[in-house]
A and B are shown apart, each in its own frame.
Chain A
Amino acid sequence: MMELAIANSRYTLAAETSSAALLPGLVEKRALLQAPLADYDSERRLGRKIRFLSDATRLFGGTAVALLDDERLKAMVSASPERIGVYTCEETINLRDDYQFDLCVKVHGPDEASPLLAPNTLANVVGSHFASNTGITGPNCTIAAGQSGGMHALQSAMHGLMEQAIDCALVGGVEVSSDYHRATFAVQREVAAVHAVVAAGPADKVVFFPPRIRMKKDAGALDVARAVKAEAEARFGGAALDAVIVACGSKLLDTDTLCTAMSQYGVTNSVLPGEHVYGYGESCGALLALGLASEILQGGDAAPVRPLILGTQDTPLRRLGIVSLDEQGQYSALVMERRA
């Protein structure tokens, strides 16, 4: 199974300006993550014709276009746009657009509904608009899988890379909120995260493996522990991990049971509930966890998150696992390491 690496990343959350790094100030910004963004494209990355674009299209598009400031990525897109894939996860980004469009039809009649707003009722407008903006003509997938969306986006990207249909996968996700979301769902985070994922080469210091994703109606901590154990065995010959990040589902998982099980399996006894770092959301958790883990393994300052680790907090971090569990019983695990 192939090793993957992150060539670069971009995030927009809490503050309106996108950034290449997640860790710096993240814990301090956590309280701001649930506040709506005032401007979804504050850097004006999408040009002037944005009036009819949905919030999610602007948020994701602005973030992803900023990612292409990276000279290597820019050159790849310029040279072979058909060999760049876009894999986006979302879950309810079109709720407000769908509601407002249909309400207009009901109240004023079908002839009053704006055709310019019609594309916003479809979730794939986010990835498609980004492709139109940048000329990227490779695979363009929009995935709805709830809190497992990020893992599925990574897995789908892996197939494109493995089949050599693409050389680089832009794997991202977007979450937006609105009055309709707030009336319906508990979480309100607004965020966009995008990673440029490539097949790992000899120069890549940090590598990760495609996720293992499974499903069982009453899945719990033991299932998750077994999954990450299986991944550690498959990739590292059973060697222990230094910590596991729970990307999402920490409210569903009994973390004590998870810690105990993983410890008994010889996996690790250190668990970091990622949602204590970047808040609760609906689809981007795994991508945020991947970014967090990658920065830590690259040598980033993990001091702000160490106090949040349950179990042993001072282990040198060289091998990490990322796990998730969602409300439908879908659970996943991936492992990554800093090469010696």
Chain B
Amino acid sequence: MTMTKKRVVITGLGVVSPVGSGTEKFWNALTGSVTGVGKLTRLPNALYPRDLAAEIKDFDDLPEALDEELAPYGQAVAYAVAASRMALSDAGFADGLADGNDCGVLIGTTMGNQDLVEQVINRYDLNESSVLGEEQGRGLANFGASLLSTVVANRFGCQGGALTFVNACAAGNYAVGTGFARIRSGQESMTLVGGADPFSRACYTIFHRLNASSATDCRPFDQNREGMVVGEGAAMLVLEEYEHAVARGAHIYAEVTGYALTCDAYHATAPHPEGRGAVAAMQRALHVAGLEPEDIDYVSAHGTGTAANDQSEAVAMHRVFGERLATLPVSSIKSSLGHCMGAASAFEAVACALGLYHQIAPPTINTTDIDSAFPIKLDVIPGQARPMPMRHAISNAFAFGGNIATVVFSRVAPANP
């Protein structure tokens, strides 16, 4: 059986991020080495000794903040709607999509609508002897994570299928990769993909209790790294079949050329120490893209800044790229954005698209000394963005449960004048 293989390009981008909302602000902040990490304001600092967070600061400036139709839903829905609006407008669909379109919606998330649970508990001051009544139950009616994608689909008239991947911190790449698969196979001509996650007490506490959070910034791959910083937000991309995009004169940022999904099958929260699933994902994604490791010019790392993840990821990258890894630029934008959960790899997809388009790789900030325990010393593009020739980039995302998603992006040569 022969599978149709259409080309898939990125024609629209939208972000609601801790360094600013809107693609221009986002990219300027990343390449300007701006941090979105600050002191925690959403929870009592006294309860959390490591009280840094990457919070969204400008959502109130967006029209979605005052949209009464979004009020019953969780914050991630509002973030996803805002980022989707921006992405569709960027792609030339500010007035919505025509009836009869086949545009699917795929959104990845970790916590989904967990903030609704927190709201109900807080609003009714519930304790362990409280019985949930009808009123409290109504407050939880929109808990289902499917609403992240279906609300977006209905808001913008997307008539292909809509689903939410709840694959934790890799979910954004799950959405990008699956969107690529759907267009590549001919199932759809356009797919709106990305990730969204709210800030929640539960999420912040999970990483606090796992001793995974840092007291002093996120410094991926650093000898003295202490952990991650919890963030929030949404990033959305419009993926489109190449001929469809060219025919309507769409602006093209980059191309999605490969992806892979694997599983460590190892532990509920820790990565496989030798990066078993990560190696398989990178190798498979390269195979799908028709590329070899030496074709990659930039790696967007998962790079959370935890001891376990960065060690495992360094080992995995070394197994795939070999000694060349010493000169292959690798950066983690989580150093700027914090770890935005299901939105994280969607932010990284946006950064890869913009990096390939502008031929600039974003930096890893805060990192000064590479961990000497790594099999090889990494070039993490420390401190400052780097203009550089970039043909192909690979982006890794690893999640609790060992769920792994890797995506390959490639530059699309500018059309001849």
Contacts and interface: CB of A to CB of B under 8 A. Distances in A.
A152 interface: yes
Interface stretch (B26-34, B328-336, B396-404): B396-404
Nearest to A102: B202
B162 interface: yes
Nearest to B260: A165
Interface stretch (A19-27, A29-37, A93-101, A308-316): A93-101
A41 interface: no
B202 A137 contact: no
B342 to A, nearest CB: 10
A92 B144 contact: yes
Contacts, number: 239
A102 B114 contact: yes
A113 interface: yes
B268 A142 contact: no
Given A127-B401, A129-B401, A214-B160, A103 B128 contact: yes
Given A140-B261, A145-B162, A215-B160, A121 B206 contact: yes
Nearest to A134: B265
Contact of A330 (B118, B161, B202, B403): B161
A146 to B, nearest CB: 4
B246 interface: no
B263 A136 contact: yes
Contacts of A143: 163-166
Contacts of A111: 47, 209
Contact of B163 (A124, A139, A148, A163): A148
Given A95-B143, A118-B206, A159-B185, A105 B201 contact: yes
Nearest to B266: A132
A196 B263 CA distance: 18
A72 B138 CA distance: 47
A145 B268 contact: no
Contact of A102 (B112, B118, B134, B266): B118
Contact of A109 (B47, B117, B158, B159): B47
Interface stretch (B7-15, B276-284, B299-307): B276-284
Given A91-B144, A132-B267, A144 B114 contact: no
Contact of B263 (A101, A109, A131): A131
Interface stretch (A179-187, A272-280, A295-303): A179-187
Contacts of B150: 145-146, 215, 328-330
Contacts of A127: 401, 403
Interface string A144-184: 11101101100110011011010000000000000110011
B370 interface: no
Contacts of A124: 166-168, 399-401, 403
A150 to B, nearest CB: 11
B416 to A, nearest CB: 33
Contact of A131 (B117, B162, B265, B276): B265
B373 interface: no
Q: Which bracket fits the contact residues of B?
A: 35 or more
A238 interface: no
A99 B403 CA distance: 24
A115 B207 CA distance: 9
A266 interface: no
A137 B263 contact: yes
Nearest to A110: B205
B146 A145 contact: yes
Given A122-B166, A183-B136, A215-B154, A141 B174 contact: yes
Contacts of B200: 102
A135 to B, nearest CB: 5
B132 A215 contact: no
A121 to B, nearest CB: 6
A18 interface: no
B182 interface: yes
A166 B250 CA distance: 34
Nearest to A100: B128
Residue in B47, B143, B201 whose Cβ sees the most chain A Cβ within 10 Å = B143
Contacts of A180: 132, 140
Contacts of A165: 260-261, 284
B141 interface: yes
A118 B266 contact: no
A199 B127 CA distance: 51
B84 interface: no
Given A92-B143, A106-B122, A143-B165, A129 B201 contact: no
Nearest to B276: A137
B137 interface: yes
B153 interface: yes
A51 interface: no
B202 A101 contact: yes
A215 B201 contact: no
Residue in B1, B174, B205, B288 whose Cβ sees the most chain A Cβ within 10 Å = B205
A234 interface: no
Given A125-B268, A330-B161, A2 B146 contact: no
B137 A214 contact: no
Contacts of A183: 132-134, 136-137, 140
Contact of A217 (B47, B154, B185, B268): B154
A256 to B, nearest CB: 26
A125 B400 contact: yes
Contact of A137 (B153, B164, B277, B400): B277
B339 to A, nearest CB: 14
Given A144-B112, A146-B146, A118 B269 contact: yes
Contacts of A329: 150, 154
Residue in A98, A103, A151 whose Cβ sees the most chain B Cβ within 10 Å = A98
Given A110-B205, A136-B265, A180-B140, 15 more contacts: A90-B166, A95-B143, A111-B209, A118-B209, A125-B400, A131-B402, A137-B277, A137-B280, A139-B261, A141-B174, A144-B146, A144-B164, A146-B146, A162-B3, A185-B141
18 contacts: A91-B144, A105-B202, A110-B205, A110-B208, A111-B47, A111-B209, A115-B210, A123-B145, A123-B166, A127-B403, A132-B265, A141-B167, A143-B165, A151-B161, A156-B178, A162-B3, A184-B140, A185-B137
Across chains A and B, which 4 residue pairs bring their CB atoms closest together, nearest first? A128-B401, A213-B161, A139-B261, A183-B137
Interface of A: 2, 81-82, 85-86, 90-92, 95, 98-99, 101-103, 105-107, 109-111, 113-115, 118-119, 121-125, 127-129, 131-132, 134-146, 148-149, 151-152, 155-156, 159-160, 162-163, 165, 179-180, 183-185, 199, 213-217, 282, 328-330, 332
